[in-house]
Structures are given as C-alpha cells and as structure tokens.
Amino acid sequence: MRILIVEDSDKIRESVAQALREADYAVDAVADGRQGFIHAQTGDYDAVVLDLGLPELDGLSVLKKLRDKKIATPVLLLTARDAIDDRVLGLQSGADDYLVKPFALDELLARVQALIRRSQGKSTPKIHVGPLMIDQVNKSASVRGRDIELTPREFALLEYLAHRAGKSVARHELEQHLYDDRSQVWSNAIDSTVCALRAKLTVAGCPPLIHTRRKVGYVLQERAVK
Ligand code: CA
C-alpha cells in the first residue's frame, strides 16, 4: 500500500514517513498543499495523511479540490488541538478521519490501517481466500493455520491482491501502489514477486490462488481463470 503525506513541519513529516516505511508502506512525502494536490490527484495512493495548515494551498482546499475531482482516496487530517471548527469542516468536506496534534505514531498507523480497510469495504483486518488467511494488522499470511514466511514486498503484493480478491489487477496498478517515488522498479519486479509468492504458497500446501490474466495482470481467487 502506498501513502502520501502532506505536512510542512519537517519534524512531523519525517517521523510519520519513517514510521509508515517501517510498517512496510510505500511512502511519498511533500511539504506544501500545491504539491500535495498534484500528487494526490493521480489517485495512486491508498491513503493521504493531510495537514490542515499548509503553505501554497491549505489542507481544506486540497481536500475539497480532490473530492470535486471525484478522487475518493481516504484522507486522514492532522489538526491542531483547538481547531474544532476545522475538524468539523474537514469531515464535512470529505475527510474520513482526523488526528489531533501531538499524536502517537502508533495511533496514526492504526488509523491509517483502519482507513484503508474501510475504504475497501473490509471491517475486519483478516481476509480469507480459500485456505489462505491474510492478517493485515500482524502483516502475516497463513495457510490452514500455518504461517508462511514472506518478505515485506511479497506481503504487500498479496495484501493488495487480497483487497481486490476476484478482480483483475493490472501490473501497472500493482507498481503504483507498492513502490514510492524513491524506489527503482525493475520491469519484471511484479512478475518475479508473484513467482516467489506462488512458490511459497505451493510449498505451504495451498492450491493455486494467484492467477494470470493474459495481457491484464493478476487476480487472487479460488477458482481458475478461464
Ligand atoms: Ca502545518
């Protein structure tokens, strides 16, 4: 999953970015509202962490412009303690949640996770596909109760496919959501990660769940793709 942070305080932006990266998110971080809007309107993000008080374009305007453009990416607002009006206005303008500064990084992580889950229509952190279970809180996957050792990238890919189980996901979309602007993406990166994942699932006794959609990408589902 890929997150955008829009925050002008270097200290907060850097600590949030680091915490999210340590939790294996792909992260892009910008320091003003204009850059925030330019990045967010691509729609490549699974969530946006948006400060309200920003140079160039304030957070509320960024949010309104995104919603006007029908960009539905979940948005977590960062607000000051005394700014109740801003919070209300933010929620009314299409924000999904807010966090009052100063906040604990653990709480921010939990809220971002919950936000992404809700936006995908999943109320629980566990996703089941056949005998495979993906636990988004513990970032683990298991087959019939037995854990499978996955790299962060493999888990991220599996999690993304699991969110869209039964639907085809293009290679390009996977690249956009698994890699941030700092990453170098090799042309066969997605295919080789899928290959490694399939091998691990097979070893764990899982039937084939990741199917190739010719000329499209991949789909995670129990039955075979015609
Ligand atoms: Ca600010």
How many whole angstroms from 8 Cα to the centroid of ligand 1?
Answer: 5
108-126 average pLDDT score: 89
| Residue 219 clears pLDDT 80, i.e. is over it | yes
How many whole angstroms from 60 Cα to the centroid of ligand 1?
Answer: 12
pLDDT at 121: 80
Q: What residue type is 15 in one-letter code?
A: S
Alpha-carbon distances, residue 150 vs 215, 216, 223 (angstroms): 27, 25, 23
Which one, of 68, 50, 62, lies nearest residue 12 by Cα?
A: 50
pLDDT at 15: 97
How many whole angstroms from 19 Cα to the centroid of ligand 1?
Answer: 19
How many whole angstroms from 220 Cα to the centroid of ligand 1?
Answer: 40
pLDDT at 33: 98
Distance separating alpha carbons of residues 96 and 156, to the nearest angstrom: 23
Q: What residue type is 43 in one-letter code?
A: G
| Residue 23 clears pLDDT 70, i.e. is over it | yes
Output the pTM of the full model. Answer: 0.88
Residue pLDDT, tens place only, 163-206 = 999 999 999 999 999 999 888 888 889 999 999 999 999 999 99
Burial 17-26 (b: 16+ CB within 10 A, else e): bebbbebbbb
Which one, of 136, 150, 130, lies nearest residue 46 by Cα?
A: 136
* H-state helical runs in 8-98: 10-22, 33-40, 59-68, 84-92
pLDDT at 20: 96
| Residue 123 clears pLDDT 80, i.e. is over it | no
CA dihedral 135, 214, 194, 129 (to 10 degrees): 20
Residue pLDDT, tens place only, 74-97 = 999 999 877 888 899 999 999 999
- Answer for the pair 19, 7: CB distance below 8 angstroms, yes or no: no
pLDDT at 60: 95
